[in-house]
A = this chain, B = another copy of it.
């Protein structure tokens, strides 16, 4: 079983409009609602890959109830969310059918109380028992301590469960200091953390700050990994056009499933890059195209890099 944590879950709403005209009124031609938040995306991809995925985090209110209803329809993902009094946020993606571009509107998350956070921490410790790996994903809702992920990483390390962190800003900085097994920043987050816009240098710096391994997303160019076992660059055979929403979450699912299966780093990276590209090419944001994945997986180039720290 692989555990995913989504503290700031969301009800993702996608509106399709023929053409977005600012300051006008639009009839929405298509409404899609689905459980959202990075950890939930990871759980869905893990389940599609055949892994047992357990999704936890915080949900509440009418939107939280709608999210759980919909989560129950996903085969292979077990709902282990912890209820809160606040209301789960919505995100609204406006897809302009004329251009394919998306305008995104993200509500702030609900206020979480110290008692709710303590109840979550207890549940999380229980769920780690029997987990092959855990992913901590996304932003923190208001009310949580900035060191929330650092605390969850320490709990995972005590339980000897490999832990991956995918967040940004101060929660990433504090989390890295708690020595997670893997961090998966993108190049921008890595630069904000380390002050270096050169990814190899920045990844080495992140390792010195505490991360055992750094798998940095380079967008359409693939992934750079700097680990204790070596350093690699993994690239798709060509640039893939499409919607990048959820591509990073699919990469996390690739890395974690490979870790849980005991695959060496180059194979984990190939899987992560192929899943990520197959997500960009999928018609629905946050899902992946299985045929593209099967086609790309053997074509991902993984090159050893002399930059190992």
Contacts and interface: CB of A to CB of B under 8 A. Distances in A.
Nearest to A27: B106
B31 A108 contact: yes
Contact of A22 (B69, B103, B107): B103
Contacts of A25: 103-104, 106
A218 interface: no
Interface in A128-160: none
A27 B62 contact: no
A127 interface: no
Interface string A55-77: 00000001101100100000000
B105 A28 contact: yes
A105 B16 CA distance: 10
Interface stretch (A94-102, A193-201, A264-272): A94-102
Q: Contact residue range for chain A?
A: 20 to 34
A223 B69 CA distance: 48
A28 B62 contact: no
Copies in the complex: 2
A26 B105 contact: yes
A260 interface: no
A26 B107 CA distance: 9
Contacts of A108: 27-29, 31
A201 to B, nearest CB: 28
Contacts of A62: 62-63, 65-66, 69
A186 to B, nearest CB: 14
A242 to B, nearest CB: 15
Nearest to A20: B22
B23 A103 contact: yes
A75 B106 CA distance: 32
Contacts of A31: 107-108
A191 interface: no
Given A23-B102, A28-B106, A31-B107, 14 more contacts: A13-B90, A20-B22, A24-B103, A25-B104, A26-B104, A26-B105, A26-B106, A27-B108, A28-B108, A62-B63, A62-B65, A92-B92, A92-B105, A94-B105
26 contacts: A13-B90, A15-B92, A15-B105, A15-B107, A20-B22, A20-B103, A21-B103, A22-B96, A22-B101, A23-B99, A23-B101, A23-B103, A24-B104, A25-B103, A25-B104, A25-B106, A26-B105, A26-B106, A28-B106, A28-B107, A28-B108, A31-B107, A62-B63, A62-B66, A92-B92, A94-B105
